[in-house]
Amino acid sequence: MIRIKPKHLITGLAALPFAAVLFAWSGIFDVSASSGHWKITEWFLHFAMRSSVRTHALAVKAPDELPRHALKPAAGHFARGCAICHGAPGEPRSPAALRILPPPPDLAGIVDEWTDPQLFQIVKHGVKYTGMPAWPTQERDDEVWAMVAFLRELPGLDAERYRELAYGDAEPALGRAYGFEEALAECSRCHGRDGQAGGESVPVLAGQSETYLLASLSAYLEGSRPSGIMEIPARAVEPEFLPELARHFAAQPRIVPARTEDDSALHRRGETIARNGISQTRVPACLECHGRTERNPLYPNIAGQHENYIAGQLELFRDGMRGGTRYNHLMRNAAKNLTDGDIEALAAYFSRLQAPPENETP
């Protein structure tokens, strides 16, 4: 009977790292993707990934309801950054993507295997040792939850509905935009060619000042206004076209839809805050900056923007996550003491406000 002494065991264990380095240096191990994984390796990696996602997702608190009002920008991001590997309704996966090791799955067939927090974990942080990247910015959980909402819808989408969400009235655009029309298509998929927006979480660009639009595009390009959804199209456009895009949308007439009168307590509270602020919590009057016709061109027109969009932006400012122009610190200070109720009231008021600038069409 062979007896292994402790000193032999210790020596053997100490030699293992050197043996591993020697094995790697020899080049015998085949790292080519075409060779595939050993079955045990494939099982272990998949087991480790699922276990990691399950454990880390325990710390993720899902919202009471997924933000389905943000499906359109999420679909646009999916078309731009995800469909080439995972495919989409009416768009099969790229043959090149199918040679990735491991091959990216058809998501429509597997999203039901994961809980909402687990999908959030995967989308936000990505997966090591695969081609799955992390979300472009780690500061925008609201965008990640929008993508989770889209993934929940994906199995039920046909090609027509998917194209409507992902592209709107624009042609599919992939790669870099080297011409103005291609650059405009990057914007049109969500905002529409006329800048009138295409969803509850997408801002109206038509009629905004050229100065504000250019400053916002530049902030997305530089990463000072974090957005995993906006940074990709902003960086896909040649910088020389950003001023032209700003001029285009600033020149579009803003059509303000007719609004029904709202005399609810929520609307009245929003108007009171907008006109007078909240002295007890040092919240300034919103209309002092946003209500003037001759306002600073870097202050956007928020009258008539969608309620969900306004609320979302105020929450980002309050949480210190919203960057942008050089005046963003003013909005962070103004919003930091807003309660959820204050934000709801302000969003209700401004979304129904009709105070068109000079180039708007009532």
Tens digit of pLDDT for each residue in 130-158?
889 999 999 999 999 999 999 999 999 99
Mean pLDDT across the stretch 95-124? 93
Of the given ranges (46-60, 69-83, 177-191), which has the lowest mean pLDDT?
177-191
Query: Position of tokens 């929008």?
Result: 146
Mean pLDDT across the stretch 196-223? 91
Whole-number pLDDT of residue 43: 93
CATH T-level topology, domain 42-167: Cytochrome Bc1 Complex; Chain D, domain 2 (1.10.760)
Q: Which CATH superfamily is domain 180-252 in?
A: Cytochrome c-like domain (1.10.760.10)
CATH code for the part of the protein at 265-361: 1.10.760.10
Is pLDDT at 349 greater than 90 in this prediction?
Answer: yes
- Supply the DSSP symbol for 278: B
**Preceding omega of 17 cis (within 30 degrees of 0):** no
Mean pLDDT across the stretch 266-292? 93
Distance CA 280, CA 157 (A): 49
Mean pLDDT across the stretch 314-322? 93
Query: Hey, which bits of the chain come out as E strands?
Result: 254-255, 360-361
Mean pLDDT across the stretch 75-97? 91
Mean pLDDT across the stretch 305-318? 94
Mean pLDDT across the stretch 116-142? 95
Is pLDDT at 324 greater than 90 in this prediction?
Answer: no
Check: CB of residue 104 under 8 Å from CB of residue 86: yes
Mean pLDDT across the stretch 174-193? 86
51 burial via Cβ count (<10 Å: 0-12, 13-18, 19+):
exposed
Whole-number pLDDT of residue 15: 80
* Closest C-alpha among 201, 231, 209, 212 to residue 327: 212
Distance CA 281, CA 260 (A): 31
Q: Which two tokens stand for residue 178?
A: 């080297």
Residue 177 bridge partners (DSSP): 237
The proportion of the chain whose per-residue pLDDT surpasses 70, expressed as a percent, equals 93
Q: From residue 161, how far is each of 75, 90, 106, 150 by CA, in Å?
A: 11, 10, 18, 12
pLDDT band at 359 (very low <50, low <70, confident <90, very high): very low
**Cα angle vertex 300, ends 298, 305, to 5°?**
170
Whole-number pLDDT of residue 174: 66
In a 13 Å sphere around the CA of 329, the CA atoms on its Cβ side amount to 1
Mean pLDDT across the stretch 85-110? 91
Is pLDDT at 257 greater than 70 in this prediction?
Answer: no
For the chain, which residues make up each domain, given as ranges? Answer: 42-167, 180-252, 265-361
> Which stretch of DSSP H or E encloses residue 340?
helix 340-351
Whole-number pLDDT of residue 356: 46
Whole-number pLDDT of residue 155: 96
Phi, psi of 229 (to 5 degrees): -80, -45
Q: Which two tokens stand for residue 240?
A: 């020389």
pLDDT band at 273 (very low <50, low <70, confident <90, very high): very high
Is pLDDT at 337 greater than 90 in this prediction?
Answer: yes
Burial call 196-232: b when 16+ CB within 10 Å, e when fewer: bbbbbbbbbbbbbbbebbbbbbbbbbeeebbbbbbbb
Q: From residue 33, how far is each of 88, 194, 323 by CA, in Å?
A: 24, 46, 41
Distance CA 115, CA 56 (A): 12
Q: From residue 298, how far is each of 89, 121, 186, 287, 361 by CA, in Å?
A: 40, 36, 23, 15, 21
Mean pLDDT across the stretch 29-56? 90
Q: Which two tokens stand for residue 241?
A: 């076209």
Could you check whether 42-167 and 265-361 share the same CATH topology? Answer: yes
* Closest C-alpha among 189, 200, 138 to residue 166: 189
Is pLDDT at 287 greater than 70 in this prediction?
Answer: yes
Identity of residue 243: P
Distance CA 330, CA 340 (A): 19
pLDDT band at 199 (very low <50, low <70, confident <90, very high): confident
The proportion of the chain whose per-residue pLDDT surpasses 90, expressed as a percent, equals 62
Is pLDDT at 362 greater than 70 in this prediction?
Answer: no
pLDDT band at 258 (very low <50, low <70, confident <90, very high): low
Query: Position of tokens 């292994």?
Result: 4
Whole-number pLDDT of residue 19: 82
Q: Which two tokens stand for residue 318?
A: 């309050």
